Amino acid sequence: MSEVHAVPDGIRSYGHTSGEVASRIFNEGVYDLQANITTLTPVFGAIGIDFLSAFGAAQTNHSKAVLELAGHYAATATAANDTAASYEGTDNRSAAALGAVGNGIEARP
């Protein structure tokens, strides 16, 4: 059997970083859509309405993909935190069980 050594605080740190990345991607993705459409509307005006409509649709699809990416990072953050808690819980339960066995051995005459 191979040996596994997990460092829950390290896993949590990775989760925290993933959460920060998710937040930044989300904020930039939302800003990108609004900024591009707002900036281009006065430039193209009524003449470029067809272009703006197509560009808006493309930007919307892009924003959906960016927000999906942010969602994946957020899910990774949650999974990392849950994994760290699971490792600690298993380790604590195993330590308690071994401690109980050790106490039982010490109690024997």
Residue 83 lies in a domain: yes
Residue 57 lies in a domain: yes
- The answer for residues whose C-beta is within 8 angstroms of residue 23's C-beta and 6 or more apart is 70
pTM of the predicted model as reported, rounded to 2 decimal places: 0.74
Residue 34 lies in a domain: yes
CB 37 within 8 A of CB 56: yes
Q: How many domains does the chain have?
A: 1
Determine the pLDDT at residue 73: 98
> Where in the sequence is the domain holding 78, given as residue range(s)?
8-107
Determine the pLDDT at residue 13: 97
**Whole-number percent of the chain with pLDDT over 70:** 95
Residue 1 lies in a domain: no
| 21-66: pLDDT as tens digits | 999 999 888 777 778 878 888 888 888 888 888 988 988 898 899 9
Residue 71 lies in a domain: yes
